Amino acid sequence: MFFRQLATKEATLSYLFGCGSCHVAVVVDPVLGDEDWFLEEAKKQDVNITHVIDTHVHADHYSGARALAERSGALYCLHESNAGRVNFEFEALRDKQHIVIGNVVVQVLHTPGHTLDSLCLTVTDKRRTNAPWFVLTGDTMFVGAIGRPDLAGKEREMAGQLFDSLHERLLTLPSELELYPGHTSGSVCGAGISGKPASTIGFEKRWNPMLSLDRDAFIEALTGEIPPRPAEMERMVAANLGN
Ligand SMILES: [Fe+2]
């Protein structure tokens, strides 16, 4: 398999990976304006982009996913809970669904908390083994930090959901899994995010300060330090919903 991580605007990390031998690839969380980069990289790798996935409807940047999906003829994928919420057609992803990209298999994990529709994606390279090799954690979990509960007015409830998603879904993954988040330091999507763009489940389990807290302490800590809301947030959400 091949794998590219793009560090782009708003301290966002986007991903392009796939199967060179079957000439297919997937893009995760592209930012608007970066479409040419993805199309050029795909051309260099001699792959067709078949799926463009947003890990959630973003509130801190304009998503480039729909534009890129249109230009590359790929499916634009979001969690199924967005049906009726967004003003465009999309491929609805379900929890535990597998997306086959040649010899690469992406499995969808629904991990609500940062937002209700948040997804994490485990990725397996079947040429190596049938066990997942890495996980894209979107804004659910960062290196050294955790996503902010984004739903205004429901922060405590969402923080509780985030705790459950982390402990029941992400931290039960094998510790050797590499972890690739949706942001590095400088993002308003979480407090105390590291500048390092990758980690492992095991290292975060041991050293991420938010992961050693019990549920009540976690909710207190997370809702006590919510960073300021992104500038232009309403406009960005409206654009990303297709309004
Ligand atoms: Fe986000």
What is the distance between the alpha carbons of residues 185 and 195, in angstroms, rounded to a whole number? 5
For the packed helices 35-45 and 65-72, what is the interaxial angle rounded to 10 degrees? 40
Beta-sheet strand order (sheet of 104-110): 98-101, 104-110, 119-125, 134-138, 178-181, 199-200
What is the distance between the alpha carbons of residues 55 and 28, in angstroms, rounded to a whole number? 7
pLDDT at 188: 83
Going from the Cα of 125 to the center of ligand 1, the distance in angstroms, rounded, reads 27
Over residues 180-222, the pLDDT tens digits come to 999 999 988 888 899 999 999 999 999 999 999 999 999 999 9
pLDDT at 219: 95
Over residues 150-165, the pLDDT tens digits come to 777 899 999 999 999 9
For residues 56-73, average pLDDT: 97
pLDDT at 85: 95
Going from the Cα of 23 to the center of ligand 1, the distance in angstroms, rounded, reads 30
- Model confidence at 70, pLDDT cuts 50, 70, 90, reads very high
Q: Are 114 and 139 in contact (CB under 8 A)?
A: yes
pLDDT at 104: 98
225 vs 46: which has the higher pLDDT? 46
Could you list which residues have their CB under 5 Å from ion ligand 1? 139, 189
Going from the Cα of 139 to the center of ligand 1, the distance in angstroms, rounded, reads 5
145 beta partners: 142
pLDDT at 78: 98
pLDDT at 227 over 90: no
Written as one string, the DSSP assignment of 46-82 is T-EEEEEE-SS--SSS-B-HHHHHHHHTPEEEEEGGG
> How many Cβ atoms from other residues are within 10 Å of residue 133's Cβ?
17
- Model confidence at 226, pLDDT cuts 50, 70, 90, reads confident
pLDDT at 228: 76
Going from the Cα of 107 to the center of ligand 1, the distance in angstroms, rounded, reads 20
Average pLDDT, the chain: 95
Going from the Cα of 128 to the center of ligand 1, the distance in angstroms, rounded, reads 32
Over residues 100-134, the pLDDT tens digits come to 999 999 999 999 999 999 999 999 999 999 999 99
- Model confidence at 231, pLDDT cuts 50, 70, 90, reads confident
Q: What is the DSSP letter of 217?
A: H
